[in-house]
A and B are shown apart, each in its own frame.
Chain A
């Protein structure tokens, strides 16, 4: 248990569906992140939120829409996805963004399959 939870753990969706991934951290952190992990590829940073404000959008397609209502919760809204979006989506949190020795703590991820 890292203190970061994600739901659902597994998701299968069609290309026309709309779904949302949820992340919650119980560590009192101020920064939260979304990463994409595809097989045999490096983790790719998607979005960064610091104190509920989006500070990074790593050229992510608009079919992925993040939402951060407070420092403990982070959502990733999905719509009209493509099969190549199938991957493990990881959420992480850290005390702050840009701190000297910031360690990011990861959730277990949501395994997404787009049909």
Chain B
């Protein structure tokens, strides 16, 4: 089966930077997604990486290293509304999405 690991919880202060790591072992690779999910709400798409390197989108950036099976999501200038669960998902060789268990980020004032 697929194996996707990310930390369970992270806490940071408003205005700070937090980096959420994701490592994966999958049969085939067709891209990596990051989703944000607030409690009781739908996961919403944040970013997509299929080639190595950094993708920047405002305060959020996502990095991928396919050779290392590694990605991170970087959240800058943290705001209280960024408190949520962040899901790493990998699309395997059969185009199925496999998700990590999610990282709950708590932003403190």
Asked whether any CB of chain A lies closer than 8 Å to the CB of B63, the reply is no
Q: Are A106 and B97 in contact (CB under 8 A)?
A: no
Q: A90-B43, A103-B33, A109-B42 are in contact. Are A97 and B97 (CB under 8 A)?
A: no
The one of B89, B91, B96 that contacts A56, using a Cβ cutoff of 8 Å = B96
The SS class assigned to the A binding surface is loop
B4 proximity list for chain A (CB < 8 A) = 42
Q: Are B42 and A42 in contact (CB under 8 A)?
A: no
The one of B8, B35, B41, B91 that contacts A108, using a Cβ cutoff of 8 Å = B41
**Chain B interfacial positions (CB closer than 8 Å to A):** 4, 8, 30-31, 33, 35, 40-45, 48, 50, 87, 89, 91, 95-102
Report the contact-size class of chain A (Cβ under 8 Å from the partner): 20 to 34
B35 proximity list for chain A (CB < 8 A) = 106
B33 proximity list for chain A (CB < 8 A) = 103-104
Q: Are B97 and A45 in contact (CB under 8 A)?
A: yes
A90 CB to nearest chain B CB (Å): 7
A2 proximity list for chain B (CB < 8 A) = 42, 44
User: 18 A-B residue contacts at CB 8 Å?
Assistant: A2-B44, A41-B101, A42-B4, A42-B99, A43-B43, A45-B96, A45-B97, A45-B98, A56-B96, A90-B42, A100-B30, A102-B95, A103-B48, A104-B33, A105-B45, A106-B42, A108-B41, A108-B42
Q: How far is the CA of A8 from the CA of B86 in the complex (A)?
A: 25
A56 proximity list for chain B (CB < 8 A) = 96
A103 proximity list for chain B (CB < 8 A) = 33, 45, 48
A32 CB to nearest chain B CB (Å): 13
B95 proximity list for chain A (CB < 8 A) = 97-98, 102
Q: Are B44 and A106 in contact (CB under 8 A)?
A: yes
Q: How far is the CA of A65 from the CA of B44 in the complex (A)?
A: 26
